[in-house]
Amino acid sequence: MRYCVNPACPSPENSDSNEQCLSCGANLLLNRRYCAVKVLGQGGFGATFAARNVALPGEPICAIKQLRVASNNANAIERARLLFEREATTLGKIGNHPQVPTLLDYFELDGQFYLVQEYVKGLTLKQEVKRSGCFDEFQVRAVLDEILELLKYFQSQTVIHRDIKPANIIRRSLDNRLVTIDFGAVKDEVSHTAILDPDDPTPNTSFAIGTPGFAPPEQMAMHPVYASDIYALGATCLYLLTGKSPRRLGYDPLTGSICWRDRVQVSDNLVYVLDKMLQPVLAQRYQAAEEVLADLHYQPTPEDAIEVAPPQPQPAVEPDVEPLEETTQPPQPTQEATNFTSTEPLDATNLTDTRLHRSPRTSFRSRLRDRTTASSWNRSQSNRRAQGEKLTAEELKTNYFKGRRDFANRNLSGADLQRFNLEGVNFNESKLVKTNLRGANLHKADLSQAGMNHAILRDADLSDAFMSYCNLAGADLRGADLTNAYLTYANITGANLCGANLANAKVTQEQLASAKTNWRTILPDGKRGLFS
């Protein structure tokens, strides 16, 4: 079968023997060698066809992208021609990479522009999700590893893809490697040329390029940079994990960040990496693929907790303090942060999340430092309560249910909090001496520098808890879940760990030797038994 590429053709399908379309009379042989046989995709910019090159032996299959100009204006067509030739040159340069389709030809015919590229057989990542379901963390990390290496190559060639998304990444059937297709600069610049200012002689981008939900704010504001592709790749990962377009996940009205953390279960490391890839403020996002890869594969060591910044002194109590449950909100983002049109770094005082100031090679020590700083900021900006002020169990419960998670530097000693759900709570530097937390959910809680000596934590969920420098001397941790807990420099002298699960916990042999264990204790290496 031969396919007519005339956009206005009412019946484009023709038999192999036809040289001209029976419906519209258009020539079915493009540039005297390419015969379209199937539509691969189409949209407002034009269409993509699978085609045979009849001028070569065996008539090999190739992909032809037809780019349409939405105007007959001579200036618009000439402008499109300049953009088209520039982008064809770019595609020709980067097509030497094995994960980019090779540019085979390009030409203009009857006012339309055509790019001929290597045909890549396989499923897109979007098709994989539709067919097999959402990806797990291992699969997402594999995608990041491959595409980040590709982004490194693009940056070395001074190229921005501008349309990274699941539908534009194909897993090639031949070798299972990921291949990027459909560079946004080509299709969008040519298709929108008619709306550009005809008096502007330079063919620069002056309109939004990219797919909403995947393109970052600065790109939609017509200022794409290398980091724009990093944001789009992060958004692609959200789709792979959730099966939903990032736009459907919603946005934080204060920061503009995508709300996604409650939709997926992934490691803290991947949460941090994706968060920084998806920062809406350009200055706070990763600027290069190498930085993302460094954080993605970073393995913390016990020494990482050495350089912990000392806690800052708290301000004096204000006479007109507000109650804890009526905490004021952080300041609204500045105009610069709201419009996302500038690439200049923002004043750190205008940012509401101190995690944005981490160095490229993030570690647990910066995580502790940042959490401590963030807690201090929240305390000073919200209610400026006195250091170590007493808090009752009912006050804690009421405020937690209202969405409050920051209870740093509070005194809850002796409180009855058994079986409370306190997931993700921040008890940094708080006093929890002899506090009853039996069966409580403290998953991913921040207990760093907290005083928890003789606390009752029997059967508590402390998985992924951050407990560096926590004082757990004499604490009852029988049957507690401490998987992946970070206990470096924590004091567990005399703590009862009988029956506790310490699989993959960050804790030294010297620390364990000072605690009580028995044959039911699961040690960090996953084995059961007494520590000796």
- 3-class DSSP state of 168: helix
163 is catalytic: yes
Cα 60 to chain centroid, rounded: 39
C-beta of residue 291 within 8 angstroms of C-beta of residue 273 = no
Q: Tokens in use for 139?
A: 């699969």
In Å, how far are 126, 175, 203, 432, 435 from 170, measured between CA atoms? 9, 11, 30, 53, 54
Q: Cβ(426)–Cβ(407) under 8 Å?
A: yes
CA 501 – CA 303 distance, rounded (Å): 23
3-state SS assignment for residue 5: coil
Which entry of 110, 136, 163, 320 is annotated as an active-site residue?
163
Instruction: Count CB atoms within 10 A of the CB of residue 197.
Output: 9
| Closest among 251, 181, 255, 188 to 220, alpha carbons compared | 188
Q: Which residues contact 114 (CB under 8 A, 6 or more apart)?
A: 30, 31, 34, 64, 65, 66, 67, 105, 106, 107, 108
Let me know: does 149 contact 109? Beta carbons within 8 Å: no
CA atoms within 13 A on the CB side of 262: 7
Round to whole Å and give the CA distance between 452 and 430: 8
- Positions annotated as catalytic residues are 163
